[in-house]
Amino acid sequence: MIQIYDTDVVFHKEWYALKNINLKIEKGEFIFVTGPSGCGKTTLLRLMYMDLFPTKGEVIVAGFHSSSIKTKEIPFLRRKIGVICPDFKLLQDRDAFDNIAFALQVTGTARKLIKEKVLKTLADVHLSHKRDSFPFQLSGGEQQKVSIARALVREPFILLADEPTGNVDPESTKEILELLKDINASGTAVIMATHEIHLVQKSPFRKIAVKMGEVIEDTKDNLKEEIFLDKL
Ligand SMILES: Nc1ncnc2c1ncn2[C@@H]1O[C@H](COP(=O)(O)OP(=O)(O)O)[C@@H](O)[C@H]1O
Ligand SMILES: [Mg+2]
């Protein structure tokens, strides 16, 4: 579903944010990307939704190749990729319902269907009782759940969660992790980047550890040869 081949990302011609990345991610996987601040986690996620293109190498996501995707195809790819970030990025002048609905309005979904889907997704993130609340009336944890719902309502095949617990309290951190596991159990692949190693240490899920732009450990180590055979 996602393949990354011999990929480097270089900023300002000399700064290697990522170096020699080879990864294969299957449908429905749950993966933690870990490593200290500045190691390249966000850059790796940006490659996966083609917000950024490799300086060297190739990224293939859902059949789209970074070397050949057309600009007008990128929105179609993004519709099937949910992205959440540490600072929620909710629209401040819309309540929870409308923030989630907005994700469907921009794709031209019919109003009745939007209402149905938004109500279901609000229930999925256990926030039905907050549907009329504005972001300033919600805790950090609740805002993050709204942003998860906004990503989920488009029924993505993958959810990219960049430090989703970075700005929430410990109790909400647990709830958000549980929520991500539920989402994964229902079939969506989840890739969560975090520098909070204690959150993932005991988890049975695949872990990809990044250090200074390089993958230093992958608990499901695809042999490089195997990744390349797949490309043929
Ligand atoms: N747009 C950019 N321009 C220049 N340097 C960048 C840019 N984005 C990230 N970097 C650098 O690349 C490295 C990896 O950054 P990032 O992927 O954000 O790390 P992380 O998410 O693990 O904290 C850092 O050294 C960062 O300063
Ligand atoms: Mg980051």
H-assigned helices in 106-217: 111-124, 140-152, 170-185
How many alpha carbons lie under 13 Å from residue 206 in its C-beta half-sphere? 18
Atom 11 (ligand 1): residue with closest C-alpha? 17
> What are 7-58's pLDDT values in tens digits?
999 999 999 999 999 999 999 999 999 999 999 999 999 999 999 999 999 9
Residue 12 CA: which ligand is closest? 1
196, two tokens: 């909070």
Query: Looking at the 3D structure of the chain, how many domains does it have?
Result: 1
Q: Which of 21, 43, 87 to mutate to test the pocket of ligand 1 (most atoms within 8 A of CB)?
A: 43
| Mean pLDDT of all residues in 96-111 | 95
Contacts 24+ apart (CB under 8 A), 61-64: 61/1, 61/2, 62/1, 62/2, 62/157
Residue 208 domain boundaries: 27-52+70-220
Residue 157 lies in a domain: yes
CA of 40 to the centre of ligand 1 (A): 6
Residue 99 lies in a domain: yes
Residue 44: phi, psi to the nearest 5?
A: -65, -45
Closest CA to 144 of 120, 180, 168, 117: 168
DSSP 107: T
Other residues' Cβ atoms within 10 Å of the Cβ of residue 15: 9
Residue 90: phi, psi to the nearest 5?
A: -85, 155
pLDDT band with cut points at 50, 70 and 90 for residue 110: very high
Residue 105 lies in a domain: yes
Residue 59 lies in a domain: no
| Mean pLDDT of all residues in 224-230 | 55
Ligand 1 nearest atom to the CA of residue 210, by list position: 22
The pTM assigned to this predicted structure is 0.93
CATH number at residue 152: 3.40.50.300
Residue 101 lies in a domain: yes
Residue 220 has pLDDT above 90, yes or no: no
* Residue whose tokens read 């990307």: 33
Residue 166 CA: which ligand is closest? 2
Residue 188 lies in a domain: yes
Residue 182 lies in a domain: yes
> What are 69-102's pLDDT values in tens digits?
999 999 999 989 999 999 999 999 999 999 999 9
Residue 229 lies in a domain: no
**CA torsion angle for 32, 24, 62, 108 (degrees, to 10)?**
10
Region label for 6, one of left (φ > 0), alpha (ψ between -120 and 50) or beta (otherwise): left
